[in-house]
């Protein structure tokens, strides 16, 4: 596999068209941290399969269009070439392009927002990266989350931007007790839908394609994605989350990303790291429930924000574990006058 990849990289390096294709495929792969064009191809296949199966081909078209626009914007902005070639300016675009047609109705204004959002996602990627690099921490999918929050929230103010499926805005209210039990088949399908919902796709076959895409690039990533989805399933069931959400994979996608990010991408796998990643994955499920309630009054989805916030919190500590003491700050409030 790595020989074939290396040959492809050589070919792509010599041909500008294949090179551009390569960057975009890697961009798709980077949604789950894989700098690998074959992985990206499997991820795009997962989106296309899910979009066709769901009768919403505009989701697949949107994802590809936005991926290309985000990448081209990075080129126009003279973004760092090495980062560009790893696909780091494409993965937020793919997600913007899959999300906008999922939540907004097809039409000229939807495509206008999608194109503007894809270009802006690259600017936001540069901005968030600049800030997070201060602490050697990646931007993750926050550029997608922030950009798309603005795009879909705006729909409530704009009469020419009809909403397809989200909201309506509502105050959260306490729920109590467990719902009717689910059977083993539903649980199995819910487990597979976790990886698919990373791309906003509610389809178990797409989940399998995502896992295969990870496997060809990193067995650890595939394993941790599968384990992360399983942990999320167990915790969300035990806490009594909505069964409709659980069986649609909506409690699974953020924990999948947290498990892969903490367990094998940014830290090298070890017993302690896996324990740390497990704590982060469990906490991601709690944060998913919290953010679903917290965002309900404004009627938009949380996207991958639970993954982003938890993973940032678990990446920031790293090797330097010394907080500022509760003692006077050097220099005090006023400069000493000489």
**Residues between 68 and 107 that touch a copy of itself (CB under 8 A):** 74, 76-80, 82-83, 86, 88
Task: Candidates 11, 150, 188, 219: give the one binding a copy of itself (CB under 8 A).
Answer: 150
Phi-psi region at 107: left, alpha or beta (left = phi > 0; alpha = psi -120 to 50): left
Task: Candidates 72, 212, 240, 248: give the one binding a copy of itself (CB under 8 A).
Answer: 240
The residue among 14 and 173 lying less far from a copy of itself, judged by its C-beta, is 173
Spatial separation of the C-alpha atoms in residues 326 and 338, rounded to whole Å: 28
Q: Pick from 13, 5, 50, 7: which is nearest to 29 by CA?
A: 5
Is 133 near a copy of itself (CB under 8 A)?
Answer: yes
Task: Candidates 157, 180, 183, 185: give the one binding a copy of itself (CB under 8 A).
Answer: 157
Task: Candidates 70, 95, 114, 124: give the one binding a copy of itself (CB under 8 A).
Answer: 124
Is 289 near a copy of itself (CB under 8 A)?
Answer: yes
Is 325 near a copy of itself (CB under 8 A)?
Answer: yes
Is 335 near a copy of itself (CB under 8 A)?
Answer: yes
Q: Which two tokens stand for residue 151?
A: 């795009």
The residue among 60 and 224 lying less far from a copy of itself, judged by its C-beta, is 224
Print the binding letters for residues 186-225 with a copy of itself: x by CB under 8 A, - otherwise: ----------------------------------------
Is 269 near a copy of itself (CB under 8 A)?
Answer: no
Print the binding letters for residues 14-53 with a copy of itself: x by CB under 8 A, - otherwise: ----------------x--xxx------------------
Question: H-type helices in 198-304, by residue range?
Answer: 204-215, 219-239, 243-247, 253-260, 271-295
Cβ-Cβ contacts under 8 Å for 235 (sequence gap 6 or more):
282, 285, 286
| DSSP string covering 67-100 | HHHHHHHHHHTT--HHHHHTTTTTHHHHHHHHHH
Q: Which sign does the torsion angle of CA 317, 83, 78, 76 carry?
A: negative
Spatial separation of the C-alpha atoms in residues 338 and 334, rounded to whole Å: 12
């Amino acid at each position: 596999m790595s020989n074939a990849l290396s040959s492809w990289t050589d070919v792509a390096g010599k041909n500008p068209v294949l090179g551009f294709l390569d960057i975009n495929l890697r961009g798709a792969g980077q949604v789950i941290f894989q700098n690998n064009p074959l992985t990206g191809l499997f991820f795009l296949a997962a989106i296309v399969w899910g979009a066709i199966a769901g009768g919403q081909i505009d989701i697949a078209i949107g994802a590809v269009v936005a991926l290309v626009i985000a990448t081209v914007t990075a080129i126009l902005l003279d973004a760092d070439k090495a980062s560009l070639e790893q696909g780091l300016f494409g993965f937020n675009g793919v997600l913007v392009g899959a999300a906008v047609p999922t939540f907004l109705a097809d039409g000229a204004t939807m495509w206008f927002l999608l194109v503007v959002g894809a270009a802006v996602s690259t600017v936001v990627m540069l901005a968030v990266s600049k800030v997070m690099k201060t602490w050697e921490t990646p931007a993750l999918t926050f550029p997608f989350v922030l950009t798309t929050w603005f795009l879909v929230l705006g729909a409530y103010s704009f009469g020419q931007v009809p909403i397809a499926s989200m909201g309506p805005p509502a105050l959260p209210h306490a729920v109590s007790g467990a719902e009717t039990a689910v059977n083993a088949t539903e649980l199995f399908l819910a487990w597979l839908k976790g990886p698919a919902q990373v791309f906003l796709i509610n389809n178990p076959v797409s989940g399998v394609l995502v896992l295969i895409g990870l496997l060809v690039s990193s067995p650890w990533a595939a394993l941790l994605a599968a384990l992360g989805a399983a942990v999320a399933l167990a915790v969300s069931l035990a806490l009594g989350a909505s069964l409709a959400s659980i069986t649609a994979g909506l409690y699974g996608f953020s924990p999948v990303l947290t498990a892969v990010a903490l367990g094998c991408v940014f830290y090298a796998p070890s017993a302690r790291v896996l324990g740390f990643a497990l704590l982060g994955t469990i906490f991601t499920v709690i944060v998913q429930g919290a953010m679903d309630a917290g965002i309900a009054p404004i009627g938009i989805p949380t996207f991958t924000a639970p993954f982003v916030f938890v993973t940032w919190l678990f990446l920031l500590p790293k090797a330097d574990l010394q907080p500022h003491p509760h003692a006077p700050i050097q220099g005090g409030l006023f400069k000493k006058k000489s």
